[in-house]
Amino acid sequence: MSALLIYKALHIFFLIAWFAGIFYLPRLFVYHAETNSEDVSELFKAMERRLIYFVSPFALFTLIFGVLMIMEYGMAWFKMSYWLHAKLVLVILLYAHFGYCYTIVKQFKRDQNTRSPRFYRIFNEIPVILLIGIIFLAVLKPAIGS
């Protein structure tokens, strides 16, 4: 069994675990933005905080094993893999989205949310769109830029 296959399996595992949180957290934001109850709001604050801290290590390990795979393939392969460059742009956008989730959690924690439930419904779709692009690029490896 090669190190590359181990890295790939762990990358996929942590990606799936991370995405469970990425898909659920903005849904919590929708419900939180809809509530007028202080008790329910406090419950959502706790759920959001616990969830983001629970899935954050998965984001880190997804990144670590992705980088290890690139290193295992080598820099010559990386330079020629234009599909991977496109995929990494989407991955950077995904990490930016996840980072913004931290900002939103803090805003809700301080009762400073100014966004509507509709905003969070749309925000919830961003990782879905990014994931579709990431998967298609990773599986199809199209000849981009050649």
Tokens at residue 56, please?
């954050």
Q: Which amino acid is at 92?
A: I
Max CA pair span of the chain: 57
Per-residue pLDDT of the chain (146 residues; tens, 9 = 90+): 799 999 999 999 999 999 999 999 999 999 999 999 999 999 999 999 999 999 999 999 999 999 999 999 999 999 999 999 999 999 999 999 999 999 999 999 999 999 999 999 999 999 999 999 999 999 998 877 65
Least Cα distance to 60 among 22, 18, 92, 24 occurs for 18
Chain-centroid distance, C-alpha 103:
14
